[in-house]
Amino acid sequence: MKETAARLRRAARIARVTGRAGLRERLANKGDFVLAIVNGVTYQITVLLFATVVFTRFPPLAGWTVAQVLLVSSVRLLAHSVFVLGFTNVREIPYLIRQGRFDSFLVRPAPVFLQVCTSRFPLNAVGDLTVAATSLGVCLSMLRLDWTLARIGSLVLAVAGGAALELALALCVAGLVLRRAGTEALFSWLDTVIGAFGNYPLNVFPAVLRAAFTFGLPVAFVAFYPVAAVLGKAASVPYGPALTLAAPLVATVWLALGGWAWRTGLRTYTRRGW
Amino acid sequence: MTARAYRLARIAPLAERMRGARMATTGFVVATQVLLYSQLWRALYAHTATVAGLDVRQAVTYSTLATLATTARAMRGATGESVKTRILDGSIAYWFLRPVSARRYRAWYGVGEALYSSAWVFGGLALGLGLGLVQPPASVAVAAVSAVSFTLGLVVLYYLTVLIDVIAFWTVSTDGVTRFYEFVQALLSGALVPLWFLPGWLAGLTTRLPFAAGVSTPISLYAGRIPLADAVSALAWQAGWCAVLAVVAAVGWRRAGRRLVVLGG
């Protein structure tokens, strides 16, 4: 127990020191610094724009009001922002490998995962979080919900579960990328699929996609199912109301799978940078 | 020169072909995105026949072709050969020491990239036609005009990428610029949402920009959203952007060569 606490303290110190150094590195190029923050905003705007076009151009979505659908989008955006803040560098692994930096992480006396996560300061998280928080604020003011402790707890859990799921899926891809060069496009694929399909009530999709996003790639657990619980719409979700409470369990299972993929990837990784 | 150009144009496609996993991943990404988006648009059109002048078949055709065009382009780069990476490791110096000028080298390399991504687009188009995802062109004339427009679109996209590349000579790191460009490109090219779905004033403005000339114009011509009668003006806009961007890129290359800083050693 004491040992674990000491290890965690050490990891936190490494993260703090490398994070500060990373921030200084990003500040070296002022134009790039500003654009990186702006990029967080613009990325989220593209996602919101797609959702807005869908809301305004097409009829109400499967019995969900615009504000309710916006809550699904907002929780997904916030979960994504939390993921970006802590773990976005997992998606940079292909570049770290190509530059040869990843190989140096393997021989240093610190966890590889920690070094990857702190390899670059996640500036775009600032923009991401700003848009996500604004979007959440707007839709909560539209919804006028009664904020009980249970509801607040399930909203926080929804965001944490969504971020954990994004991390778990990114780790699965990272494990694959470490094993086999050329598979890195799956990172952007994951981003696109979750970004484009995680914003809507699952009911709008045909049966095949409903099943795929529930029992295959867990896109529906990133925001839809937990938000249905927050809104008290559990009865209307596909495959039964129990799934609205299952997001933490699904995230845990996928995190275990992601952890296994990461460890396996690390064991089988062979140098291919220059 | 022809033999040299041929060899340079082959670099990108050969590098992609070398890695089976890379091609398989590209196929997987393109196929799943096309199928997912087509399902999404069909679901959205379940209760409506026409939105912003597009019916469900046109919307699915548009979405499929836009996904093919943009995803295949994004997949390129197995060689890691870009101005950005070369500047960061200092090997950009070689671009300026070879018997071929840096500008010409990048151009022929770009031709190879464009041909590679086009192979995915045409392969996907054939498959899409076979599966009924993409509607066939309304006439031979529409097919011909779309092909010309697609080629002009490739030229526009090439020059836009070159301009981002050239910025690296001044800023060294282009991560921020590149990501910003990707955002603008996704938003204003119509790859994310057909431009016709945007509010009227914004749609009017974006269809005149070079980003739309790269993706939206050829696909809108193919899907019939731009009628054949307006094709000449659409092609003229594209050709105009090709000329303007070519001049800007040429000036950029000339200035970049004069202020080259070689890092590393």
* pLDDT tens for each residue of A97-135: 887 889 999 998 889 999 999 888 888 788 888 888 888
Average pLDDT value for chain A: 87
With CB atoms and an 8 Å threshold, state whether A53 touches B33. Answer: no
Is A196's CB within 8 Å of B40's CB?
A: yes
| Contact between B257 and B102 (Cβ < 8 Å) | yes
Mean pLDDT to the nearest integer, B8-34: 86
Contact B10, B4 (CB under 8 A): no
Spatial contact of A163 and A83, defined as CB atoms under 8 Å apart: yes
Number of C-beta neighbours around residue A149 at 10 A = 7
Taking the CA of residue A210 and the nearest CA in chain B, the distance in Å comes to 11
Q: Cα separation of A76 and A66, whole Å?
A: 15
| pLDDT over 80 at A175, yes or no | yes
Task: Return the half-sphere exposure (C-beta side, CA atoms, 13 A cut-off) of residue A97.
Answer: 22
- Candidates B173, B177, B198, partner chain A, best to mutate (most A CBs within 10 A): B173
Contact: B32, A193; criterion CB under 8 Å: yes
A100 to chain B: closest CA residue: B89
Ordered DSSP codes for B244-257: HHHHHHHHHHHHHH
For residue A242 the two structure tokens come to 């129990």
Which residues on neighbouring strands pair with residue A61, listed in sequence order? A64
Minimal CA–CA distance to A80: which of A42, A121, A127, A129?
A129
Q: What is the distance in angstroms between the Cα of B22 and the nearest Cα belonging to chain A?
A: 4
Count interface pairs A-B at CB distance under 8 A.
117
Overall average pLDDT of the A229-247 stretch: 91
Percent of chain A at pLDDT exceeding 90: 41
Q: Once rounded to an integer, what is the mean pLDDT over residues B213-236?
A: 92
**Nearest one of A209, A77, A70 to B37, comparing CA atoms:** A209
ipTM of the modeled complex: 0.80
What residues contact B150, with CB distance under 8 A and at least 6 apart? B118, B121, B218
Range list of H helices, B132-230: 140-171, 175-188, 200-206, 210-214, 216-223
Q: How far apart are CA A86 and CA A130, in angstroms?
A: 16
User: pLDDT at position A22, please?
Assistant: 79
In a 13 Å sphere around the CA of A161, the CA atoms on its Cβ side amount to 27
Residues of chain A with Cβ-Cβ distance to B48 below 8 Å are 58-59
Which of B30, B33, B34, B44 to probe the A interface (max A CBs under 10 A)?
Answer: B44
Interface mutation target, options A25, A57, A173, A209, chain B, most CBs of B under 10 Å: A57
Closest alpha carbon to A190 in A254, A133, A243: A254
The torsion region of residue A190 among left (phi > 0), alpha (psi -120 to 50) and beta comes to alpha
Most confident of A169-178, B129-138, B195-204: A169-178
Entry field: residues in chain B: 265
- Residue with the larger pLDDT of the pair A52 and A95: A95
Residue in chain A nearest B195 by alpha carbon: A53
A108 vs chain B: nearest CA distance in angstroms? 23
Taking any CB pair shorter than 8 Å as contact, residues of chain A touching chain B are: 29, 31-36, 38-39, 42-43, 45-46, 49-50, 53-54, 57-59, 98-99, 124, 180-186, 188-189, 192-193, 196-197, 204-206, 208-209, 274
pLDDT band for position B208 (cuts 50, 70, 90): confident
Rounded CA gap, B210 and B54, in Å?
22
Residues 6+ apart with CB under 8 A from A199: A47, A50, A51, A69, A72, A73, A76, A223
Predicted confidence (pLDDT) per residue in B63-100, tens digit: 899 888 887 666 555 455 677 778 877 788 888 888 88
CB A84 within 8 A of CB A125: yes
Identify the band that residue B244 occupies on the pLDDT scale cut at 50, 70 and 90: very high
Find the CB nearest A58 among B33, B51, B171.
Answer: B51
- Are B21 and A36 a contacting pair at CB < 8 A? no
% of chain B surpassing 70 pLDDT: 93
Which one has a higher pLDDT value, B251 or A34? B251
Q: Which phi and psi (to 5°) does residue B55 adopt?
A: -90, 180
pLDDT at B72: 65
Average the pLDDT over A198-216 and give the result. 89
Yes or no, beta carbons of B21 and A42 under 8 Å apart: no
Full-model pTM: 0.83
- CA distances B110 to A81, A176, A269, B218, B231, Å, are 35, 29, 32, 20, 27
**Cα B65 to Cα B136: distance, rounded to the nearest angstrom:** 12
Query: What is the pLDDT at residue B146?
Result: 95
Residues across chain A = 274
